[in-house]
Structure 1
């Protein structure tokens, strides 16, 4: 490839706030679509090697190293979770839930080098044999720009009702 035609690296700090917000929003919409359509392999590929995927329990300011979490996965555990979902033998996902996510209130919180911290509200509609469930969350993300595309470094899903028992959270949140 001609080096003159190669895409220049994107400097996140040099982007206008509108352009950065648009790029972040498009990434979050992509991730939501992959989750909702059970595109497990494509979703897994969004994660960096140093990733953390976290759903706290019993509050939002807990320490996952000292207190129980609903989910606290590193990159290798994310892979195992995806492989389990792909087996088709998860009782609570037979048949698979129909999912639809709404993402709103996307805020770019900080830009540090090639990483951006983001907050967003998410509402997940789940329909399955047990009925319909709404899951509301305040999510926090750290995204890293790698080869011109965002990748997930950290995702914290703060379920609004995480102090109550969670019975069947068996899909990608």
Structure 2
């Protein structure tokens, strides 16, 4: 089973854990409704869907059109797998460059920023081909100047996440510079 996760973070991770909202058609083709697949039990062939105003219904998929039954059978296990995953992120930064300015010169530092993303499988089944797509925004704060935001984005695939196991990936890096002034200190004696 292939699972695709989208991880977007500014201060905290957000993940889409359920299915898309789409229009479903009844078996006879006469009725339609909009809903979001939130769970599917393959052994009983029952789907749980969120419909208008957040109401949740559980029903056998045989009342749906053949095309919608196929969609539920394909997407249901993927949605179940996504719900069983938990994601944790840790931000890391490492200074890669620094100057030693004389008085009156600008102080300069350069940092590499990246994230470690841990994907934990809380199921009793292993998951294969878990793709994590990520977008992080890192802010560079420069006094007296505009702040700059660097974007870290990409994707990585974890071949296998064992049952009740955890796997990690490291994101690409963003390189940010920090400048601050190093004022000239007055020298000399005091007054008399």
What TM-score comes out, normalization by structure 1 length? 0.30
Task: Name the structure where helix makes up a greater proportion of residues.
Answer: 1
What TM-score comes out, normalization by structure 2 length? 0.28
Q: Which structure is larger by alpha-carbon Rg, 1 or 2?
A: 2
Task: Name the structure where strand makes up a greater proportion of residues.
Answer: 2
Per chain length, whose mean CA-contact separation is higher, i.e. which structure has more relative contact order (CA < 8 Å, sep 6+)? 1
